[in-house]
Each structure stands twice: as C-alpha cells, then as structure tokens.
Amino acid sequence: MLGPALELKDVCYAYEPNASLALGHVSLTVNAGEWVAIVGASGSGKSTLAGLISGYLPRAGGGIRQGELRACGLDPAEADIAEVARHIGVVFQDPDAQLVQGRVEDEVAFGPENLCVPAAEIRRRVADALNAVDLASRRMDRVHALSGGVRQRTAIAAVLALTPSLLVLDEATASLDAASRRRLQALLRRLHGEGRTVLTLSGRIDELAGAAPRLVVLEAGTVLPDGPADELLRSERARLAQLGLLQAAPAAVAQAAAPQQYAPAEAQDSLAEAPPAALSSSPASTSSHLAAPPNASQAPLLTVRGLTYAYDRKAEPVLRNVELSLQPGEWRLLCGENGSGKTTLSRLIMGLIRPPKGTVFWRGQDISSLSLYRLASDIGYIFQQPEQQFVAHTVMDELLYGPRSEFRLRPADPLPEDLQLRACQMLEAIGLSEKTELSPYLLSGGEKRLLSVAAAMISPKQLYILDEPTAGIDYNGLRILIRLCSDAVAAGASLIVITHEPNLFAGTPAERWNMENISPGSIRANMGLNLYNV
C-alpha cells in the first residue's frame, strides 16, 4: 500500500496571537495516489489549509501553527522552498495572488525555469500544460489583460508545468465557464489515473467534488464526516444541505428572495422608527412583488448601441456590435464563455473604461461625456475579486465607507441613527455581526464577496453590477446573496449579474443575456429566458 502524501496530526492554526482558531485540532491522512475532495462552507478553513500545505502559512503569511504537517515527506513551513515547489503544487482561490509574469507562456515557464529544468524539458512542459487548459493559442497574450477565468486557467497551467506529485486546487473552478470546468474535471481524472495525488477544495459539492472518490467535510476549522463520497452523499445528505454544501429544495431558493432581515434601501428614511417586525415580509407577498415585470413604457435606464471595443487598435475587438437595453427594475444575468467580453462590457457601462462616443447611454446621456464620479453616484459596481475594492481596516468601516463619503462624514463624526441601524441589520443579514472589528482581508472568500455586495447595496443606487458574485460561495451564502439582490430589485433598482452559473438563480425573476462566440463578444440581447424555467 502506498504511504501518505499528506498527513496532518492535531494541526491548529490562528492568524494572530489570541485570535480564534482558523483550524482546530485537524488530523487527516491522504495516501499517495488518492483524489480527495475537501468541502466546507465559507469560513470553515479550506483556504487556510491550502496555505499551510503550500508553506505560505505561516512562513510568509504569518500566524501560529501547532501540530505536525507533512506533505510528500516535507514540512512545508520549514523545508527548502525549491523542494516544496518540486513536490507540492497549489492553485490558490485568487489566481492573481500567484501570477507574476507579463505573458501567459512566461508565466507557465516561470516555475520550471526557477527550478533549473533543462530548456528542452521546459518547452515540453509549457506546451503540455497550455494544451491541458486550452490556452495554446493564447500563449503570447498579456496575463493581466485576460478575463478572470482565463487567468485562473493560466494559474492552473503554471502549477501543472511544475509536475508536482501532490496537486492542491482551492476553488479552482470558481471563475471557469462550463466547458472549462468539464475540461478540468477530465484533466484531474487523467492525472489521478496516472498516480498523482489530487486534493480539491470547494465551498459546494460541485463537479470536482462529486467526481472525487473520497469526501472530507470541514466545519468551523474541524473535520466532520470523512469517507467514500457516494456513501456520505447518501447518509449525510440532510446535514450537507444544512451546512450549505448541497443545494436546498427549489422552494428554499424562492424563499431566499424574500427580504427578511433588513429593509430595502427605499425604506431607509423610516428605519429609525420601524419596529423589528416591520423589517420582514412574508415570502408570498414579496415574491409576487418581485415577479412584477418592469414598466416597458418607461425610458430605458441603460442603452448600448453598436458597441465595438478593442483594448488596442491592432488587436481583435473584444466586443463587436453589441446592442442591448435595460429597463428600471430589470434583473439580468450576463452569461458567456471565459474571455467573451462580459467584464469588459460591464466596465464600459460603469465608465471604468471610456466607451466610444455614441455607443453607451445612461438615462439618455452618452456615458463617454459623463464623469466616473457622476456614474458612481447612480451605479454600484462589485468587482470579481472583492479585495480589489476594499479600502478600510475593519468590516464595519468597509461597510460604511461609501455612506460616510456620500454624507462627507469624518471618521470622528457620529453616524445618523438610521444608517447605524441599517448597517447593523445588514451585517446580521450577511452573517458578519460578530466580525465587525476584523480586517476584511481576513474574511473567508465567501464572506468577502457578501461584504463587498453589502457595502455597495447599503447606499441606494439605480443600478448594481455584480461580477461573478457566486464564485466560491456556498449555498447558504448564495441564499443571502439572492436576498440582497431581491431586496435591491424590490426597492426599484436594476441589476446586472455576470455569472457562469445561471442555474443558481432559478426561482428568481432574473432573465439572461448571452454573450455568443460566433464573433468576438457579440451578444444576443433580451432573450427573455425566464429562469423559473431553467
């Protein structure tokens, strides 16, 4: 029998002295050649575990580790870094955290070059890794001009080129389209068949977790069930659903659309006087309100006409002849393959990229003539990576940063009572009421996403744009996200949600725009595909 590729004995980890444990007394053995899926809700310790296996924690990221951890016979916190890289490959949840080179090919070659692999072998490894993630045709592209999903595939290729015997993937499918997820699953099956040890970490029992023969569940930093995946899915199904790892019944998703824990933005003026009972509504009454179609007689909130856009004059257009319109109170899902132009389109709408004149109109005004400050007063934008927009030292300050700026409040100025109440209700709704003084950067990936959405939605806007808000989020977090979105629509706002997972929004009044790949970035607008029918 093969020996262990990974062994943890009573491992504890805290990010700061006297802080609560992110991992508590974890003991786990993964034998060489096994494929194990570790699943856990947001904050359960998955990314912390990946950081410990890679050696990033506590070597570079700090914190305090106790207990014994050995991966491929090495203690990653103490072994030579080159030895760790030869044997252990980790794809982190945020691909930008490990991309360091300018071009895709250089990024994939970077690791083997640093390990002094012969040039001919590097060329072979780079070609194999790029082919494995379908990026051979994009090997000369600039990394940071790529879409989030393509950057994630680049990070996977860079780790594959190191040919590690232990491969760890933390939410590796979070930004991938359906075709890329299927391709990655097939790749992991092949690597597992070749004898590699594979460890996948995810916040839901997704395609990768479902394909693994063994399932390990993390809750609050401790290991709960651990055993054959098919057996656990039969015997522990109710428990897994309760933890948010399996999708609940459709009725639960519909109920999540009902605002129950805080009031919509339109009611903020009366919050101070409202009793707690007034801050909730019955699922039936709210669902009927949300399902009401937008008033077609109103002028469009947003209009895009014949939009073609390329980042460089000599480059192929990312978007070509895009036509669409958005009415007040409309909720749209913007879907398409990695690199189809979804984020580019959203940034043109927001004014983060200046669109060509006469192509994008906000309430009838050409966006190219409007300042970003003017647009930001009407449009809330949530980035694909929440860390890119965090600016405050604590969760509470991050939530209130926008309102403080709008009211021109200095840090020492007291908050209006209604705003303070609404902030507390919002934190309660997203499950962060006990973490108000924690740095937003120390939250789990799912918690960061919910905080970034709440921080945008605490200020009333006419349009909210959410870029991949479901990436890496568990099903309990998804229900909270849907409630936030539904509250915004109930208050009269419009939503554009960029997603590779439109099925997650079944039971909501959202409809879908599809980015087609017949020509780069062309769009089939207003399909009228109501996701009640998905």
- Paired tokens of 500: 């590779």
Count of beta carbons in the 10 Å neighbourhood of residue 372: 13
DSSP state of 375: H
Cβ-contact 95, 48 below 8 angstroms: no
Cβ-contact 337, 517 below 8 angstroms: yes
Burial class (CB in 10 A: 0-12, 13-18, 19+), 400: buried
Cβ-contact 147, 138 below 8 angstroms: no
Which pLDDT value is given to residue 292?
44
State the pTM of this model: 0.86
3-state SS record for 449-495: HHHHHHHHHCCCCCEEEEECCCCCCCHHHHHHHHHHHHHHHHCCCEE
DSSP state of 211: H
- In 3D space, the residue among 359, 361, 358, 353 whose CA is nearest the CA of residue 320 turns out to be 359
**Long-range contact set of residues 123-129: C-beta below 8 Å, sequence gap at least 24:** 125/160, 125/161, 125/163, 126/161, 128/160, 128/161, 129/157, 129/158, 129/160, 129/161
Which pLDDT value is given to residue 94?
87
Give the three-state DSSP class for 379.
strand
- In 3D space, the residue among 198, 213, 163, 226 whose CA is nearest the CA of residue 5 turns out to be 198
DSSP state of 270: G
d(CA 375, CA 463): 10
Peptide bond into 509 cis (omega under 30): no
Quick one: the chain helix, strand, coil %, rounded to 5? 40, 20, 40
Domains of the chain: 4-242 (3.40.50.300), 248-254+280-378+461-534 (3.40.50.300), 387-459 (no CATH)
Q: Provide the CB-side half-sphere exposure for 523 (13 A, CA).
A: 29
- In 3D space, the residue among 213, 289, 230 whose CA is nearest the CA of residue 35 turns out to be 213
Strand segments, DSSP code E, in 336-471 are: 360-362, 365-366, 379-382, 463-467
For residue 491, give every residue at least 6 positions away whose Cβ sits within 8 Å of its Cβ, in sequence order, or none: 264, 265, 266, 267, 460
Q: How far is CA 45 from the centre of its chain?
A: 16
Count of beta carbons in the 10 Å neighbourhood of residue 253: 19
Cβ-contact 24, 31 below 8 angstroms: no
Which pLDDT value is given to residue 249?
57
What average pLDDT values come out for the chain (534 residues) when binned by 10 residues?
86 92 95 97 94 95 96 96 96 89 94 97 98 95 90 96 97 90 94 96 91 95 92 93 82 50 37 28 31 63 96 87 95 94 95 96 96 94 92 95 87 86 95 95 93 96 97 94 96 96 92 69 49 32
- State the Cα torsion 281-471-71-111 to the nearest 10°: -160
For residue 364, give every residue at least 6 positions away whose Cβ sits within 8 Å of its Cβ, in sequence order, or none: 299, 303
